[in-house]
Amino acid sequence: MQISTRTSNDIHIVAIAGNLDSTTSPEAQKALDAVLAGARKVALDFSELDYISSAGLRVLLGAAKQLRASGGTLRMFGLNQSVREVFEISGFSAILAVYPSEAEALGAM
């Protein structure tokens, strides 16, 4: 897994590439915690994410809860078919803000 962070205006964009699973989720958690400490608007770029397991979903749910509590916004985009399927099965597609493209995710954020 590789994580890279960039900012566009005041939006922090975190790109997670590879697998988000039980092995990599502690590192992803750490990276997201660091971003969340100083950000209100966060977008997760999943265009290079291969697959996500429940350990990864836990990290996303934690981030969503934290941002919600602080009045922030979390959006994600670029999900492949497998990640989309996992979001559907887990019900995450109904509770997290998923967008088809970066432009749509960042628009009006």
Partner 1 sequence: MRHEFRMMVGADPGGVEKVNAVFAEFARTYALPEAVRRSLNIALDELLANELSHGMRGGDAGPVTVEVELDQERLTATITDDGPPFDPFRQAAPDTTLSVDERPIGGLGIHLVRELMDDVSYERRDGHNVVVLVKQLVVG
Judged by the rule CB under 8 A, the positions of this chain that interact with partner 1 are 19, 21-23, 50-55, 57-58, 61-62, 64-65, 68, 81-82, 85-86, 89-91, 94-96
Which of 7/50 has CB closer to partner 1? Answer: 50
For residue 74, list its beta bridge partners: 42
Which of 63/105 has CB closer to partner 1? Answer: 63
Is 88 buried (19+), middle (13-18) or exposed (0-12) by CB count in 10 A? exposed
Look at residues 25, 18, 85 and name the one whose alpha carbon lies nearest to residue 55: 25
CB of 63 to partner 1, least distance (A): 10
Amino acid identity for residue 82 in this structure: S
Which of 5/80 has CB closer to partner 1? Answer: 80
